[in-house]
Structure 1
Amino acid sequence: MRRIALGVCYEGTPWLGWQSQAGGNTVQDVLEQALRRFTAQPVSTICAGRTDTGVHALNQVVHLDTAAERSLESWVRGLNALLPNSIAVQWAREVPDDFHARFSAQGRHYVYLLRQHRVRSPLLHGRVAWVFRPLDLALMREAAHHLVGEHDFSAFRSSQCQAASPVRTMSHIHIEQQGDFFLFRFSANAFLHHMIRNLMGMLIYIGQGRQPPDWVLHLLAQRDRRLSAPTFDASGLYLAGVDYPQQFDIPTRNPYDLLYELSGLRFAETVSEKS
């Protein structure tokens, strides 16, 4: 048996998230169907982070065990010939048995792309979120600063979240603006169910002046999801990448370059960090 790691990119709008469901309309279901045809045997996959309905991935990392002998290039081209246009394998690596797409991960990165304009764009529907009220970048950056570090994120977890602990370590947050577009980048050791969409709802409230930046501190202290803003749209959210120990040689992709392909905008990194 060989262990193969794959980097998978997908547009999440047509799918009910990553995780397999009885109806079969998920990214995992479609990928495993393609793998079954490609290897001529049943294949189970494990991913780095389960994305929700409508959420996209730029570099989802998946591993599988198989007896099939294929070149690494065949894993990419052969699978892509069997996958729909909204899903594509970007790279393949043979990895040691102690590699695990989920448990070997040391950090995860998500980006959120948002457009602020008085009129919605049908051309960006499903790929970029939209608000019509003006946003104050400085207020959102000030609020984001309070989120960096280790916190109990109970106020930002879904009621369906199955994580054993609500404590997570947010290593940094980037928030940038170019014209009508805002790009948010979140990096942490791991995320809770709906955590980023709930954080986005809160940051947008603050950016619109509906709450002050230090509202974040109140919500973190209260640990009550009911006190925060509503969960925001899934369409602007992308799993950008996953960090692994260097010995596994897992490829990374620059989310800024990939989002340039989508929006045609160049964003420069600006970091909100706490030591």
Structure 2
Amino acid sequence: MLELTNICKTFNPGDINEEKIFDGVSLKVNKGDFICIIGSNGAGKSTLLNLISGKIGADRGRIVLDNSNITNEPENQRCKKVSRIFQDPSLGTIPSMTIRENLSMALNKGKKFDFSFLVNKKDENFFRDTLKTLDLGLEDKLEVTVSKLSGGQRQSLALIMSTLTDPSLLLLDEHTAALDPKTSEIVMDITDRIIKEKNLTALMVTHNIDHAIKYGNRLIMMHRGQIIMDVSEKEKTSLTKEKLLSLFKDVSDRSLFS
């Protein structure tokens, strides 16, 4: 469904600040996979999502999505097939617009349109029914501006918006990191439910080891631009937080002398 082959990426090449992130990394993602990605700061986790979404280009390598080579496809073209939610809740929504207007924008993603749909309320019942599934009371706040919502409500709305058009791929870039622990659990449960109900393929970068173990059917650990562990669903059930932390410490300690 998604395949990255021999991806290379260096920032500031030839400069004193040159930083090689990837040197031939490859990854295969099956349709319906929900992959949690963990690793140290600077391991390349967010860079990986940036390459897939088209936010940055690869120096070398190939990216194929749904049997289509998207390696050189610009970000605005990829967003028709790839949705992404960021750590900052304000990046996934337009704070100055109402919930209904935000949902209308999301529903018309990738289509040619003028802004008349913002005043057209023909999809209002559909929006209400969709928001009801969150169980956050947002279905009664369609005309409330998004800036007045809590961080958890905004991330939940961003989840709905990003999956309204059934994308081929959902990228979650530490989307619960800015939330308090209780809200983070609520948003993760909503995330898991939406991915399962829509049978989405998803990659989730997280620093939360508990979430990495609990959710998804695969777990990937990255370190210094390499995928050092790729655990399948069957193996994942036997993982514990202590095992993962021990493995990560072992890899980090060894890398100090490599």
Question: TM-score interval w.r.t. the shorter chain?
Answer: under 0.3
Q: Which structure is higher in strand share?
A: 1
**Which of the pair has the greater relative contact order for Cα pairs under 8 Å at 6+ separation?**
2
TM-score, scaled relative to structure 1: 0.23
What TM-score comes out, normalization by structure 2 length? 0.24
